[in-house]
Copies of this chain bind each other. A is one copy, B any other.
Amino acid sequence: MIGNLTNTRPIGIFDSGVGGLTVLKALRERLPFENFVYLGDTARLPYGTKSARSILRYARQAARHLQQRDIKLLVIACNTASAVALEELQQELQPLPVMGVVQPGASAAVAACRTGRHLVLATEATVSLHAYGNAIRALDRSASVEELPCEMLVALAEEGWTTGVIAEAIVRQYLQPFLSGDESLRAETIILGCTHFPILRDAIRVVAGNEMLIVDSARTTAAAVKELLRSAGLLREGSDAGSLTLLATDGARRFARVGGTFLGSDLSPDDVRVVDL
């Protein structure tokens, strides 16, 4: 299968900023031979408090930029952009396959949950579109889904205050109403419906307790991407480590500083190229 062996075209990933680097990290762990090009729209971040109209416009510009770089697959590594723009981009970019992070996260939550009671932590835009609620109920019609906008968690993650008293107090402020009261009504899963939130997992665990199932989309998206590449004959097989290109629409220095936390490895501003969309 010479086609598979030479499938060196990169996987394109875009996000509103650096949060999607948690998805990139999971993708690189699962697909170490693939080449990746990541685009963070740092000039317009965050998307989570913007209108659907603006988010769709920004997502389109980012997707087209990556399309011009001859990618073989596009991953929308931003929950908000996935919620708003996935269907439009799948149609507009045909035959390029496009995958979001909401569907894989919803599937993982439904698979893990016995009681059908879910709590989704997300941005304002993702919540207002009921992206997770709709995706979960499409898989489990009787599921009960609470969707909670948590903008302060985005700020916490960006500031790097990921553990400690303040992080836990803020998480508690959001979660308390869903943790107290009748045990039979409590959520069984917490879905991290924003790519910033996996780095707050420890603080969420402290507040939510050891029984809670915490689901994030990064790993399940990586598994779904691998499956899609395999079924489409687009996997790059081999033993050479894949390459990584990092693009941002603004501020290489800040991207490197904040992004390192999300990617889980140090970045230098020289690793990041600034592009205009």
Contact surface of A with B, Cβ cutoff 8 Å: 42-45, 49-51, 53-54, 124, 151-152, 154-156, 158-159, 161, 165-166, 169-170, 173, 250-251, 254
Q: Which residues of B contact A173 (CB under 8 A)?
A: 161, 166
Q: How far is the CB of A156 from the nearest CB of chain B, in Å? A: 7
The 8 Å CB contact of A166, one of B42, B169, B250, is B169
A155 contact from B43, B54, B155, B251, Cβ within 8 A = B155
CA distance A156 to B42 in the complex (A): 21
Inter-chain contact A54/B250, CB cutoff 8 Å: yes
Since A151-B155, A151-B159, A152-B155 are in contact, a sample of 12 more A-B pairs with Cβ atoms closer than 8 Å, ordered by chain A residue number, is A43-B44, A43-B50, A44-B44, A49-B158, A49-B251, A50-B251, A53-B250, A54-B250, A151-B158, A152-B161, A155-B155, A165-B169
* A250: B residues at CB distance < 8 A: 50-51, 53-54
Interface of A is mostly: helix
Smallest CB–CB gap between A77 and chain B, Å? 19
Q: Is the CB of B49 within 8 A of A43?
A: no
Which residue of chain B has the shortest Cβ distance to A53 in the bound complex?
A: B250
Minimum CB–CB distance from A223 to chain B (whole Å) comes to: 33
A154 to B46, CA, bound (A): 13
Compute how far the CA of A251 lies from the CA of B43 in the bound complex, rounded to whole angstroms. Answer: 18
3 nearest A-B pairs in the assembled complex, by CB-CB distance: A155-B155, A51-B251, A54-B250
- A151–B53 Cα distance when bound, in Å, is 26
Quick check: B156 and A254 within 8 Å, CB to CB? Answer: no
Q: Which of B53, B151, B166, B254 contacts A49 (CB 8 A)?
A: B254
Inter-chain contacts of A254 with B (CB < 8 A)? 49, 51, 124
A51 to B43, CA, bound (A): 8
Give the docked Cα–Cα distance between A170 and B168 (Å): 12
- Interfacial chain B residues near A45, Cβ < 8 Å: 49
Measured between beta carbons, the chain B residues less than 8 angstroms from A154 are 155
Q: Please, how many angstroms separate the alpha-carbon atoms of A154 and B53 in the complex?
A: 24
